[in-house]
Chain A
């Protein structure tokens, strides 16, 4: 996020939400958006589903899944057509505007309306509300990124914010609501095939050398392979050994059958885990790590805020701190890594990561910070952190318009698989449920998988609300319970991905985003049948 949760929810005049359902996925942000709506901030919801916040929205653009780029280009077309673009901001702080103008020329509201399946007038009004508001943030989530054109979707939204001059001020910005608690930190920490900690590109001159010097060892200068691209390489035996720390790709990655095949092709597979996950079951060795409540450390939230976690308990058994495990392996594999405390590790992180340069456990625990964390970039111990990015100047200096074109989803419905299926989170569970399903009450509230079907589709198939049904795609088949409503459009359906029994990812498409290699979780073609008819 370029901005903070507080300023976009408390200091905005309008909020544009694209492909994000914070009430379920980020409930405490959702609560603050409800507060914003209650105090009178205008709300524009761009989502293929009737998420709850759509009820409070001034405008709900219920667009077809996978058409975000067209939507954003349409918005910009209207900015230009109606003179709503922030010319001063564009002139002073951006470049490549002419190319951008050219790129969105084709995206008339009528054309976009047709692509997205929305009313062009509503799009016009949304554009006016967003552009004319003094302060308006764009918020988005996996509904934008989890497409094979996810990167284009993100770029388009950024272009839109640039054109409206809504960057670098409170209550504005481009704000991805990151999924998992420390997904921001994981990226910051360089768990990335092409970047060292702090987004220092391997390919950039001098970076490998910098880390060779810091770590005192020769490093491989070749960019690595993204996780999602690793699975085919496992099947083709290019990758033979894998260490997974706390992930459960069998459950969370698309096309479950394919993932299992990849993992079982490995020569040697080690998992550092808390629980016997579906993935762990496939491992050769399982190393028991410890949870957030048993260790010291930091998480970095979606607003780039580094906050402390603290050890509350020690549990019975021989589980070990994960850093101890990695250190032991490093030592055993010939790298003399001393055992460091988490605070000492953070000192090392600060040394090699410019944006974390001023962050230490001592400072996070200090009165100065007062339990409010530090937002990177925080390059020095006397730097207060950066709540809002791009104030007055962009990180790269001048904001660059990167035009993007709409490309339809890779798998569109056809005669055999006539429904478009989307996936997402529900309020009560977290991802693969490894943590949340250990609470009995939560399972009592939301214990089983379901699929949301549109009333018309259900009627055509003779399916009743609450009926157990079969769902299949080109990649797999499952059984689940039908929830029949108007939440999705006719021809579209939606499933939560948390559950292994009746899990959505047996069906999802592993087509990847061309740039980020993020899977197209949000769109795949499925067929729904009554169980009696498929026996």
Chain B
């Protein structure tokens, strides 16, 4: 018998690991604006490089598909090329032995459908479709297109006020975004090519921690235009629109149903994630522009008809958010102590904390609201908090960091459990949640759908309180009655936020997208403001008075990303104080130093590299 050996770490299979990591990073940071066919080509090249060389369709066929695609990209193909590509891809899909072959062919076939216009454009016009060109990743992916490299450079220079003003050029809620933004800007950060993406939110937080937003003077507003605009809803979207409209010189009236501004930032996000006094900094800065009047406690559509508001103003921006908790149809849902998570958080936002001392709380749902509700319940004295979710942890829509924080605070995730019914005691109080265990199954709409695990018995989860966090609803009825179109309560508007055939009516934020992120709501507010100005016949330009500083050379030394630390879980879980710790000067300097200034280097200097 010949000897056998352990895997040799010097062999290429072991050494290839870091290379593959680099490869995967590179794929992850494909710059926005890249021609989809070149991405398709990269995918195909990766596929053919993965072939083992055994079977003809994959070994020789993928290389031929690649050649045809290059022919398309070079502008040398004709429409027959697409037919040939399809024939060959179908043959590979049907006759390849393993997934390397057939899956690659399926990708090509899908691409031929998905990017049909791009293929045809390359063949007919020898050009890509529409506007193409690589863009600055962070700026492009920030829905509000904030000048991120610019403000990071200001932070590095120590000019925190300039940083804040530069942010406010596109986003008047720098503090809110410093605290709770989901930072899509970081996703394809070019720094991933070297090490990992920059902690952009962290840098921004450092800036607003150094100087409060309301201590940084806002730009002076334009002379009054005499135009009046109604903004319905004082949340992030509405207040963003109000800010820019006010700076343009329009007279803005904000209708806010509640006692204070901020919407979900105020009443949905618990204090420990976003302290309310910090929210005030943004709101005060916005109000300091001078042309904004807020009508508190006025619920448009209830207290005052929508028509009346519409009639009284030159334009109207509807940004009412998605404030109502979604209901769950479940036997026993009417039991006592079963609440909507949104309502529970709203109560806490109104400083009316429930007392869960010694109680067991079950939270149904897997989104950020579920996490917020669960962690808040814990801070209201609950002895045990369990999150019950019908899919797997990786299927949860909540941010990974939120889930991690919840688990660290001792919250248990009960996964693959579909609520079945709620058990009540004789007094009508809920005493247990019954669930049907699930197993994950085939994909539906892009993610694996759970199905009943038939061989598992239903599970009884004893609990004193149940919080339902399965989504939020939009209270759209009064506006629909007014004539605004909606589908499943979501208002239908164009990408310009205008409603077709309703001149002067604009809509944006959660109420036009369904529950989403603050930054998307902010972006909508910004777009709405500019388009309302346009609608009213102006082309007001706003000047924040700040430019991005000159770029320093790239720091090419791979360096770790500084993450924001949190207070220890055993301490923080007992109070509603902010959980995040401030970054130090050295940390933020190192982090800023990692920025590659894509606004200056590479494609940043090209026309069309920056979206507005």
Interface residues of A (CB under 8 A from B): 55-58
B131 proximal to A (CB < 8 A):
no
In the assembled complex, 5 residue pairs joining A and B whose CB atoms fall closer than 8 Å, in A order, are: A55-B2, A56-B1, A56-B2, A57-B1, A58-B1
Cα separation A57 to B2 with both chains bound (whole Å):
9
Q: Of all chain A residues, which has the CB nearest B2?
A: A55
Hey, which chain A residues are within 8 Å of B1, CB to CB? Answer: 56-58
Hey, which chain B residues are within 8 Å of A56, CB to CB? Answer: 1-2
Interface set, chain B 244-291, CB cutoff 8 A to A: none
Cα separation A56 to B2 with both chains bound (whole Å):
7
Cα separation A55 to B1 with both chains bound (whole Å):
6
Q: Of all chain B residues, which has the CB nearest A59?
A: B1
Hey, which chain A residues are within 8 Å of B2, CB to CB? Answer: 55-56
Cα separation A57 to B1 with both chains bound (whole Å):
6
* Chain A nearest Cβ from B3, distance in angstroms: 10
Q: Of all chain B residues, which has the CB nearest A58?
A: B1
User: What are the nearest 4 A-B pairs in CB distance?
Assistant: A55-B2, A58-B1, A56-B1, A56-B2
Interface set, chain B 1-44, CB cutoff 8 A to A: 1-2
Hey, which chain B residues are within 8 Å of A58, CB to CB? Answer: 1
* Chain B nearest Cβ from A339, distance in angstroms: 59
Hey, which chain B residues are within 8 Å of A55, CB to CB? Answer: 2
Cα separation A58 to B1 with both chains bound (whole Å):
6
Q: Of all chain A residues, which has the CB nearest B1?
A: A58
Against A, the Cβ 8 Å flags (1 = close, 0 = not) of B196-229 are 0000000000000000000000000000000000
**What's the tally of chain B residues with a CB closer than 8 Å to chain A?**
2
* Chain B nearest Cβ from A125, distance in angstroms: 13
Cα separation A267 to B101 with both chains bound (whole Å):
80
Interface residues of B (CB under 8 A from A): 1-2
Q: Is the interface of B mostly helix, strand, loop or mixed?
A: loop
* Chain A nearest Cβ from B99, distance in angstroms: 29
Cα separation A27 to B565 with both chains bound (whole Å):
72
* Chain B nearest Cβ from A355, distance in angstroms: 42
* Chain A nearest Cβ from B5, distance in angstroms: 16
Cα separation A58 to B2 with both chains bound (whole Å):
10
* Chain B nearest Cβ from A53, distance in angstroms: 12
Cα separation A55 to B2 with both chains bound (whole Å):
6
Cα separation A56 to B1 with both chains bound (whole Å):
5
Cα separation A397 to B260 with both chains bound (whole Å):
113
* Chain B nearest Cβ from A426, distance in angstroms: 23
Q: Of all chain B residues, which has the CB nearest A37?
A: B1
Cα separation A284 to B1 with both chains bound (whole Å):
55
Cα separation A304 to B4 with both chains bound (whole Å):
41
* Chain B nearest Cβ from A17, distance in angstroms: 16
Cα separation A5 to B238 with both chains bound (whole Å):
91
* Chain A nearest Cβ from B279, distance in angstroms: 74
Hey, which chain B residues are within 8 Å of A57, CB to CB? Answer: 1
* Chain A nearest Cβ from B32, distance in angstroms: 55
Cα separation A230 to B2 with both chains bound (whole Å):
48
Cα separation A205 to B259 with both chains bound (whole Å):
132
* Chain A nearest Cβ from B144, distance in angstroms: 67
* Chain A nearest Cβ from B139, distance in angstroms: 63
* Chain A nearest Cβ from B83, distance in angstroms: 48
* Chain A nearest Cβ from B2, distance in angstroms: 6
Q: Of all chain B residues, which has the CB nearest A57?
A: B1
Cα separation A220 to B507 with both chains bound (whole Å):
126
Q: Of all chain B residues, which has the CB nearest A43?
A: B1
* Chain A nearest Cβ from B177, distance in angstroms: 66
Cα separation A473 to B208 with both chains bound (whole Å):
100
Cα separation A468 to B154 with both chains bound (whole Å):
83
* Chain B nearest Cβ from A122, distance in angstroms: 14
Cα separation A56 to B3 with both chains bound (whole Å):
10
* Chain B nearest Cβ from A486, distance in angstroms: 16
* Chain B nearest Cβ from A407, distance in angstroms: 34
* Chain A nearest Cβ from B528, distance in angstroms: 75
Cα separation A399 to B2 with both chains bound (whole Å):
39
* Chain A nearest Cβ from B126, distance in angstroms: 58
* Chain A nearest Cβ from B51, distance in angstroms: 28
Cα separation A380 to B1 with both chains bound (whole Å):
47
Cα separation A303 to B434 with both chains bound (whole Å):
76
Cα separation A89 to B149 with both chains bound (whole Å):
92
Cα separation A104 to B1 with both chains bound (whole Å):
31
Cα separation A526 to B63 with both chains bound (whole Å):
65
* Chain A nearest Cβ from B323, distance in angstroms: 71
* Chain A nearest Cβ from B56, distance in angstroms: 28
Cα separation A399 to B1 with both chains bound (whole Å):
36
Cα separation A449 to B2 with both chains bound (whole Å):
30
* Chain A nearest Cβ from B461, distance in angstroms: 53
* Chain A nearest Cβ from B149, distance in angstroms: 63
